[in-house]
Homo-oligomer: A and B are copies of this chain.
Amino acid sequence: MDVLKALQALADPTRMAVFNCIRGCGGASAYDCETGECDANEPGGVALCDVKCKVPCSPSTLTHHLNVLRDADLVWTERRGRKAYVQIRVETLRALAAFLLETK
C-alpha cells in the first residue's frame, strides 16, 4: 500500500467530506438523498448521486475526487444500472492506521 498516496487522497476537505459521507452510511447499505436515510434494501455501497447531495461540488469534481480515492485504494466503485456505487476499502484504512501506530 502506498501510504503517502493514501494520505494525500484524504488530505483534502472535499475528499474528506466524500469519504465521511461514504463511511457514514453503514458500509453495506445505500444512503438515499430524498429520505435522508440509509436504505438497507439497496446493497453494496452508497450511490454517487446521493453523495452529491451531501457534498456540494460539481459532478465532474466529484468524479475527480472519487478517482483519487480509488487510485489510493481507499474506495472501490461499481456501476449498477445508471448509478455508480462506492464503498470503503477497510483493509487500506487498517494498513494506514498500522503505519501511524508503528513504533520504530
Contacts and interface: CB of A to CB of B under 8 A. Distances in A.
A97 interface: yes
A74 to B, nearest CB: 10
Interface stretch (A10-18, A49-57, A59-67, A75-83): A10-18
Main secondary structure of the interface of A (DSSP, over half): helix
Contact of A26 (B26, B27, B101, B104): B104
Contact of A11 (B4, B94, B97, B102): B4
A52 to B, nearest CB: 19
Nearest to A101: B97
Given A8-B11, A11-B10, A93 B104 contact: no
Contacts of A102: 23
Interface of A: 3-4, 7-8, 10-11, 13, 16, 23-27, 93-94, 96-98, 100-104
8 contacts: A3-B16, A4-B13, A7-B7, A93-B101, A94-B100, A94-B101, A97-B100, A97-B101
